[in-house]
Amino acid sequence: MPPQSGLPDSRDLGATWKFLEDGVDQIMTRLNDGMSYKQYMDLYTVSYNYCTSSRMNSGGINETLGAGSGRSGANLMGADLYKHLSQYFVAHLKQVRAEAHDLSDEPLLRYYTREWDRYTTGASYVNRLFTYLNRHWVKREKDEGRKNVYHVYILALVSWKNEFYSGLQSGSGNKLTTAVLKLIEKQRQGETIETDLVKKVIDSFVALGLDEADTNRQNLDVYRSAFEVPFLAATEAFYSSESEQYLAANSVTEYMKKADARLGEEENRVDLYLHASTRKGLVSKCEEVLVKNHAELMQEEFQRLLDQEQEADLQRMYLLLSRIPSGLDPLRERFETHVKKAGLDSVERADKADAAAAGGVEPKAYVDSLLAVHRRNNELVAKAFRGDQGFVASLDRACREYVNRNKACASPNKSPELLARYADSLLRKSNKASEDADVEQALTDTMTVFKYIEDKDVFQKFYSRMLSNRLIKETSASEDAEASMIGKLKDACGFEYTTKLHRMFQDIQTSRDTNSQFKDKMQQTHDASELKVDFQVQVLSTASWPLTAPSTKLILPPELLKTKDRFEQYYTNKHSGRKLTWIWQNSRNELRMLYTPQKYFLVTSTYQACILLQFNASDSLSYADLSAGTGIADDTLKPLLAMFTKARVLDLKEGNYEINLGFKSKKIRVMLNAPIKAEQKQESADVMKHVDEDRKILIQATIVRIMKSRKTLKHQQLIVETVDQLKQRFQPRVADVKKAIDTLLDKEYLERHETDKATYNYLA
Residue from 321, 209, 196 nearest 255 by CA: 321
Q: Is 174 left (phi over 0), alpha (psi -120 to 50) or beta?
A: left
Note the pLDDT tens digit of each residue in 474-531.
Answer: 888 888 999 999 999 999 998 888 999 999 989 888 988 998 888 888 878 876 656 6
Alpha-carbon distance 567 to 536, whole Å? 10
Mean pLDDT by 10 residues, the chain (764 residues): 66 85 89 82 88 53 34 59 93 93 92 94 93 88 85 93 89 83 95 94 92 70 93 96 96 96 96 94 96 96 94 96 95 96 92 62 91 96 96 96 86 87 90 72 94 91 91 88 93 90 90 88 73 80 86 86 86 86 87 89 91 91 92 90 91 90 90 65 68 83 88 89 83 86 86 86 82
pLDDT of 56: 41
pLDDT of 289: 97
pLDDT of 65: 32
pLDDT of 335: 97
Alpha-carbon distance 28 to 22, whole Å? 10
pLDDT of 529: 59
Neighbouring residues of 759: CB distance < 8 A, sequence distance ≥ 6: 712, 713, 714, 715, 752, 753
Q: Is 732 exposed, middle or buried (0-12, 13-18, 19+ CB in 10 A)?
A: buried
pLDDT of 558: 86
**3-state secondary structure (DSSP) of residue 592:** strand
Alpha-carbon distance 556 to 559, whole Å? 8
Cα separations (Å) of 197 from 238, 288, 502, 715? 21, 29, 77, 75
- The helix or strand, by DSSP H or E, that contains position 414, with its residue range, turns out to be helix 414-427
pLDDT of 172: 57
pLDDT of 366: 92
pLDDT of 400: 94
pLDDT of 725: 85
Neighbouring residues of 504: CB distance < 8 A, sequence distance ≥ 6: 464, 467, 468, 471, 540, 544, 545
Residue from 448, 536, 544 nearest 505 by CA: 544
* Most distant pair of Cα atoms in the chain: their distance: 157
Instruction: Tally helices (H) and strands (E) across the chain.
Output: 32, 9
Residue 683 sits at the vertex; the CA angle it makes with 680 and 684, to the nearest 5 degrees, is 95
Asked whether the beta carbons of 546 and 464 are under 8 A apart, the reply is: yes
Alpha helix (H) ranges present in 329-388?
329-358, 363-383
Alpha-carbon distance 243 to 593, whole Å? 87
Alpha-carbon distance 90 to 78, whole Å? 18
Sign of CA dihedral 607, 612, 616, 622: positive
User: Following DSSP, what letter does each residue of 178-215 receive, concatenated?
Assistant: HHHHHHHHHHHTT----HHHHHHHHHHHHHT-B-SS-T
Angle 623-630/634-646 helices, nearest 10 degrees?
Answer: 120
Alpha-carbon distance 377 to 395, whole Å? 8
pLDDT of 143: 83
Alpha-carbon distance 168 to 100, whole Å? 8
Alpha-carbon distance 336 to 694, whole Å? 34
Cα separations (Å) of 616 from 558, 580, 604? 11, 29, 16
- The helix or strand, by DSSP H or E, that contains position 562, with its residue range, turns out to be helix 558-574
- Other Cβ atoms closer than 10 A to 513: 9
User: 19-36 burial by CB neighbour count: b if 16+ within 10 A, else e?
Assistant: bbeebbebbbeeeeeeee
pLDDT of 66: 34
Q: Is 79 exposed, middle or buried (0-12, 13-18, 19+ CB in 10 A)?
A: middle
**What would you report as the CA-atom Rg of the chain, rounded to the nearest whole angstrom?**
48
Kindly report whether the global pTM for this prediction surpasses the value 0.85. no
Phi first, then psi, for residue 258 (nearest 5°) are -65, -45
- Other Cβ atoms closer than 10 A to 676: 13
Residue from 439, 418, 448 nearest 484 by CA: 439
Residue count (the chain): 764
Q: Is 309 left (phi over 0), alpha (psi -120 to 50) or beta?
A: left
Neighbouring residues of 75: CB distance < 8 A, sequence distance ≥ 6: 137, 140, 141
Alpha-carbon distance 668 to 685, whole Å? 36
pLDDT of 676: 53
Neighbouring residues of 747: CB distance < 8 A, sequence distance ≥ 6: none
Alpha-carbon distance 80 to 47, whole Å? 12
CA 666 to chain centroid, in Å, comes to: 56
pLDDT of 322: 96
Angle 252-273/278-286 helices, nearest 10 degrees?
Answer: 170
Amino acid in position 508? I
**3-state secondary structure (DSSP) of residue 344:** helix
**Domains of the chain, start order:** 1-147 (1.20.1310.10), 510-584 (3.30.230.130), 587-674 (3.30.230.130), 679-762 (1.10.10.10)
pLDDT of 266: 95
Cα separations (Å) of 50 from 4, 23, 122, 155? 12, 15, 21, 20
pLDDT of 58: 36
- Other Cβ atoms closer than 10 A to 250: 13
Q: What is the mean pLDDT of the chain?
A: 87
Q: What is the dihedral of CA 632, 636, 638, 640, to 10 degrees?
A: -100
Sign of CA dihedral 674, 676, 681, 686: negative
Sign of CA dihedral 603, 606, 608, 614: positive
Alpha-carbon distance 144 to 127, whole Å? 22
pLDDT of 427: 92
